[in-house]
A = this chain, B = another copy of it.
């Protein structure tokens, strides 16, 4: 008889019932070829004794295996390993190594990628310069939890949670029609809206709808790297036009439209990523004419429109006369503290219907509970109050950071104060390569990137710059970060 006591080890601390552990192990032994087809297993009494278990447990394991066709009961002879299993080469008695310990044997292409931060864990006390994140401590998360609780206690929640459309909660879309009209002058109906998981999903779905392999897509230089990568992943050829202090160069866009069949334009109209510039009113007018003339598909990514300090934001391209060609993308993610990701796409109803069909293949639909909760927070004014409050705080943080950068880092840096958004596009003098600063900062407990990601695919720029997200840092944290940068810079200069 085989050494069943060694082969089968039971762990009573596991959640899995013991009989099932035995059954699973026996299956493993059959698969490994240790127990060959036609072999009779020991009687239940014998095996129970060997394993020091109750006989009923072994019987339950055998019944399990019989029901799964691994073994067959033979009258008056006991149970036999099923004969109709393919014969398998015997293996060693050692436990099978994980089938996932090595890569797949099939091939697959690489996906464009980059590192946002130097690797390593982020803890509660980590000091990080991020890309421009909101402060989750200010987000109305208690109100959000309260709404979730109240929804799951309502009589209709059962149906709300079960059924739903890939375009998102009807209640939320109704609220959004009002909200987007009030804040952006958008003239839309419910069927012009698809709610997504954050703006990135809206970008992906819109691009996957429009782009075919080798299509030309115009983007800024520089541009939001995850948009570039998304279009490249979908097979697009990117054409880059310069971005200056008034936004993307619209004449260069027109020039390209004249000479090539352009499929799509991707544009960030407010607080361009990474440079934070806003497309001027004059360029908007000109661009609208180009869009109409060339029937250009446009993704207008207006990801942080709701965060603007110095003047009111300019109405989006989407609110003007674009012949239905502008796919407008925005997000509530930054209002909800970044984890609860809810974005949206605005487009003609016929386009939204197709986009919803695609979204269903990618993600079925969104989180109805969160969407209903957000609808309530829009309706009762919580989001408006939160934006008012946090915009005030972010303005203060922006001004504090600008002040400290100027007074403490002086000529080592230069930047333009952005009218909104959550980051400053901070240039360092060539004397202080960001790669060096980032490495020294890590040693002083500050995590920051090297600025490399902002040069993704860049043709005409080579800035020694990074986005300094100020919104998620409170005044004390801003001061700590600038102190560290000052130590690095003055150390390098030999002044300290």
In the bound complex, CA of A276 to CA of B230 (Å): 37
Do residues B159 and A113 form an inter-chain contact, with CB atoms below 8 A?
no
Q: Is there a chain B Cβ closer than 8 Å to A226's Cβ?
A: yes
Q: Is there a chain B Cβ closer than 8 Å to A459's Cβ?
A: no
Do residues B85 and A282 form an inter-chain contact, with CB atoms below 8 A?
yes
Do residues B339 and A161 form an inter-chain contact, with CB atoms below 8 A?
yes
In the bound complex, CA of A161 to CA of B106 (Å): 36
Q: Is there a chain B Cβ closer than 8 Å to A457's Cβ?
A: no
Do residues B364 and A187 form an inter-chain contact, with CB atoms below 8 A?
no
Do residues B86 and A289 form an inter-chain contact, with CB atoms below 8 A?
yes
Do residues B155 and A145 form an inter-chain contact, with CB atoms below 8 A?
no
**Out of B109, B281, B340, which one reaches A69, CB within 8 Å?**
B281
Do residues A108 and B354 form an inter-chain contact, with CB atoms below 8 A?
yes
Residues of B within 8 A of A302 (CB): none
Q: Is there a chain B Cβ closer than 8 Å to A68's Cβ?
A: yes
Do residues A145 and B149 form an inter-chain contact, with CB atoms below 8 A?
yes
Answer whether A363 and B204 are a contact pair too, CB < 8 Å, given A99-B320, A187-B96.
yes
**What is the chain B residue whose CB lies nearest that of A323?**
B105
Do residues B67 and A311 form an inter-chain contact, with CB atoms below 8 A?
yes
Do residues A367 and B339 form an inter-chain contact, with CB atoms below 8 A?
yes
Do residues B361 and A233 form an inter-chain contact, with CB atoms below 8 A?
yes
Q: Is there a chain B Cβ closer than 8 Å to A346's Cβ?
A: yes
**Out of B100, B183, B189, B200, which one reaches A362, CB within 8 Å?**
B200
In the bound complex, CA of A96 to CA of B321 (Å): 8
Residue of A97, A314, A362 contacting most chain B CB atoms (<10 Å): A362
**Out of B64, B101, B230, B339, which one reaches A160, CB within 8 Å?**
B339
Answer whether A15 and B130 are a contact pair too, CB < 8 Å, given A111-B354, A226-B364, A364-B200.
no
Do residues B106 and A68 form an inter-chain contact, with CB atoms below 8 A?
no
How many copies of the shown chain assemble into the complex?
2
In the bound complex, CA of A97 to CA of B389 (Å): 34
Answer whether A324 and B105 are a contact pair too, CB < 8 Å, given A226-B361, A354-B110.
yes
List CB contacts (< 8 Å) of A310-354 with chain B: 310-312, 314-315, 318-327, 337-341, 346-351, 354
- Output the least CB separation between A493 and chain B (Å): 32
Do residues B185 and A102 form an inter-chain contact, with CB atoms below 8 A?
no
Residues of B within 8 A of A104 (CB): 297, 323-325, 327, 347-348, 350-351
Q: Is there a chain B Cβ closer than 8 Å to A360's Cβ?
A: yes
Interface segment, one of A45-53, A135-143, A404-412, A427-435: A135-143
Do residues B340 and A108 form an inter-chain contact, with CB atoms below 8 A?
no
Do residues A99 and B64 form an inter-chain contact, with CB atoms below 8 A?
no
**Out of B98, B347, B364, which one reaches A100, CB within 8 Å?**
B347
- Output the least CB separation between A186 and chain B (Å): 8
**What is the chain B residue whose CB lies nearest that of A384?**
B15
- Output the least CB separation between A333 and chain B (Å): 9
**What is the chain B residue whose CB lies nearest that of A341?**
B367
Q: Is there a chain B Cβ closer than 8 Å to A14's Cβ?
A: yes
Residues of B within 8 A of A128 (CB): 163
Do residues A321 and B141 form an inter-chain contact, with CB atoms below 8 A?
no
Do residues B133 and A100 form an inter-chain contact, with CB atoms below 8 A?
no
Residues of A in contact with B (beta carbons under 8 Å apart): 14-16, 20, 23-24, 27-28, 31, 64, 67-70, 82, 84-86, 88, 96-106, 108-113, 117, 122-124, 126, 128, 130, 133, 135-137, 141-142, 145, 148-149, 152, 155-164, 182-183, 185, 187-189, 192, 197-198, 200-201, 204, 209-210, 213, 226, 229-230, 233, 263, 280-282, 285-286, 289, 292, 295-297, 310-312, 314-315, 318-327, 337-341, 346-351, 354-355, 357-358, 360-365, 367-370, 381, 384, 472
Shortest Cβ-Cβ A-B pairs, 4 listed: A124-B156, A113-B357, A161-B339, A98-B187
Chosen A-B contacts, 6 in total, with CB atoms closer than 8 Å, are A69-B281, A99-B323, A108-B210, A111-B358, A130-B163, A198-B363
